[in-house]
Structure 1
Amino acid sequence: MEKIPQQHTGNCIKIVLFGPESTGKTTLSQKLSEHYDGAWVPEFARKYLQQKWDEEQKICEPQDILPIAIGQMKLENEAANSGKKIVFCDTDLLETKVYSESYYEGWCDTQVAKAAKNNTYDLYLLTYIDTPWQADDLRDRPEQRQEMFEYFKQALIKNDRPYILVKGSLEERMQLITNHLNSILI
């Protein structure tokens, strides 16, 4: 059985966009990586699960959690070794763990849970649910946005992760984040 690659720390600052689906994580992580000339780590699960849907019309199943985590860490490690000073991750394994536990009655693959606990990041950007819901083949809980937001927030608190809450329009979010990052990057 393939194992999750160990996290490469690299010589960079790592920022994670974290929160429920359809809260602007991808847009923000891409814009921030452009703004800071940083590396961008896409969400591996999106491509993996879209392909599964397109080929089999199936959604995520418990046996998909480990391959998703492996793929995510490979992408993150590539970015950490890219030579960029800052890396923006569209997600991380703690987010994978949150989704796994919420969809599968508290269950999460033990490798994923361990890696989620041990991996470290400099800052989490917790995205609030004040963005419009955008339906697609994979998103499925528009009526549970507040519940999922609280689950994500509690995961950060429980795991003692540094975070800031990100709300408002895209421009307001970018201003809040860049003000915060500029103060810690100097």
Structure 2
Amino acid sequence: MEKIPQQKAFKGIKIVLYGPESTGKSTLARQLTEHFETIKVDEYARQYLQEKLDQTGKVCDYADLVPIAIGQRKAENIASITAKNHLFCDTDALETYVYSLAYFDKAPVELEEAARKSDYDLYLLLDVDIPWVADDLRDRPKDRKEMLGRFEKGLLDFQKNYSKISGAGEERFKNAITAIKKLTDK
């Protein structure tokens, strides 16, 4: 079986958009990418699981977790070659790890190891204070606060640097910019 690749070094600031489903991670990643004139890493799990659902009618199972982490890390490593001063990652191995625990009460050892060894300058933990939007893959509209707690626990357990981002629309974007500016002003 293919292994989760090691992270490639990146000369700039690497930031993960992180948190429960339907919290605006992809939207914020796009906004930040435009603002900082760089590139982003899209959420590989969404593409992978949508294709699986469309082809088989099935959703994520335990065997999908490592392939998702592999695809996410490969995309990140490619982006780290061409990104400018900032690289925005729409999720990472820690996100997949937290979902694994939430859905299966366990996680593959290699996924936990990849999450532990992952090196990012900042995680932006997105709050559940915006409306939940349904789609083919989202399934936990009533568990949002519990999931937010799980995601924050993952950050604390793995000792990751993070900032919680709240607010809707432009306010959310400005709060993210402020968190990134605090990091770069240190």
Q: TM-score, normalised by structure 1?
A: 0.96
2:5 counterpart residue number: 5
2:68 counterpart residue number: 68
Question: Offset of 1:83 from its aligned partner?
Answer: 4.1
Question: Offset of 1:180 from its aligned partner?
Answer: 2.8
Residue 153 (1) aligns with residue 164 (2): no
Question: Offset of 1:159 from its aligned partner?
Answer: 1.1
Q: Cα deviations across residues 122-173 of structure 1 (Å, max 9, x unaligned)? A: 0010100011111111000111001000000111111111111111112111
State how 1:132-171 maps to structure 2 within 5 Å. Answer: 132-171=131-170
Secondary structure of the equivalent of 1:14?
strand
RMSD (Å), alpha carbons: 1.0
Distance in 2, matches of 1:176 and 1:83, equals 23
Question: Offset of 1:117 from its aligned partner?
Answer: 0.4
Residue 39 (1) aligns with residue 39 (2): yes
**Residue type matched to 1:74 in 2?**
K
Q: TM-score, normalised by structure 2?
A: 0.96
State how 1:79-158 maps to structure 2 within 5 Å. Answer: 79-105=79-105, 107-158=106-157
**Residue type matched to 1:135 in 2?**
A
Residue 18 (1) aligns with residue 18 (2): yes
Secondary structure of the equivalent of 1:15?
strand
Q: Cα deviations across residues 28-87 of structure 1 (Å, max 9, x unaligned)? A: 011101100122000000000000000111000011001101000001101111141100
5+ residue gaps, structure 2? none
Distance in 1, matches of 2:144 and 2:92, equals 19
**Residue type matched to 1:143 in 2?**
K
Question: Offset of 1:182 from its aligned partner?
Answer: 2.8
Distance in 1, matches of 2:96 and 2:178, equals 28
- Counting aligned pairs with the same residue, the percent is 48
Distance in 1, matches of 2:96 and 2:56, equals 22
Alpha carbons of structure 1 residues 83 and 27: separation in structure 2 relative to 1, 3 Å: closer
Distance in 2, matches of 1:83 and 1:19, equals 23
Distance in 1, matches of 2:95 and 2:183, equals 24
Secondary structure of the equivalent of 1:76?
helix
- What is the aligned residue count? 185
